[in-house]
Structure 1
Amino acid sequence: MSTLHRCAWAETDPLLRKYHDEEWGVPQYDSRMLWEALMLEGFQAGLSWLTILRKREAFREAFCNFDPVAVAKFTEDDIARLLLNPGIIRSRAKIGATVAGARIYLAMQDAGEDFSHYLWTMAGRKPILNKAGTLPAQTPLSETISAALKKRGFKFVGPVIVYAFMQATGIVDDHSPDCFRRKRSK
């Protein structure tokens, strides 16, 4: 019986293993799901991804399943309520950035811009298979996407966060060479 070889980081916790095996690096083309992933990456800033995974369902509940229409309507009272929610990361700046991000997402949509098309076009419209070796924290492409998102008004979208987002959503395939998911995340 053979064992599956995974990226080493995925072997440290059962939740990380499940996330790795089912989601990480799988190309995501759904605009709303991409927006959710970007917002969660913003909440992760300064924390571990495992922390976010453990709180992801609470985030989804708190942010109306990351429905941009609902989140865009959040008021200061809603933000105050979320700041008391122990199930999520209680950062005023990150919560505010998510509400603002919903409004930006909807403004793009109202202007006829599809969020998925916007992101994937910058990436060349297909997943990038990185060469084996040390993974970068950021790349010229993550810097380009970061700058474009910042220009739109998004917050918590620095090049390092954007690169992690690119890995998570399959824009980049950074699975290790011996990982069973490498080149299979299509």
Structure 2
Amino acid sequence: MRHLPTALCSLCLLVSLLPGTALAEPLDFKVDPTHTTVYFAASHFERTSVRGRFGKIDGRIRYDETSGSGAIDFTVDADSVDSGNRTLDGILRSPQFLDAQNFPVVRLQASRFVREGDRLVAVEGELTLHGVTQPLRLEAERFSCGAISLFGIKRHVCGGDFRAVLSRSTFGMTRFLPEVGDTVVLTMSVEATPSLPALE
């Protein structure tokens, strides 16, 4: 029996050397701005949709690919809103909507990754917009991690498509209601690669 601890230690060492048995640790990812987009849409007189995007996005993700846990911290430059219409962009930047001068940053922070089996189905956190913070749930339409090769360069990438629905009036943006709808649909595509220090 005195040899049992030694045998157990040897067994533990052997298992730790087997492929796929190493304990995974969370990785810190930097958002790739060239492959990350945020779009929005709201109804216009219940006939068509007003659509646009934000051109300047930054963010960090901490993600454990084994457990599926993580945290995100995304920021969007409110002044970078682009609807394809310069007049509308001016209205969206004005105090009537985003008020980009007083609230230059839109921020999404989340630390709850919702999974069903091995699949990520949603990310839950808080959105700060127009100086107001409200809970937000991003539904994951697809998400995965793995190696990709682009122009002969191999990288490890995590990415996916997400969708959220919010009420703009809860963020204090009530101008042009109800002609321009209160419900805003956000769609986000994200790609990120390991690089940054741990999120605090």
TM-score bracket, shorter-length normalisation: under 0.3
**Structure with greater helix percent:** 1
Structure with more contact order per residue of length (Cα contacts < 8 Å, sep ≥ 6): 1
TM-score (norm 1): 0.28
In our comparison, the structure showing a higher alpha carbon Rg is: 2
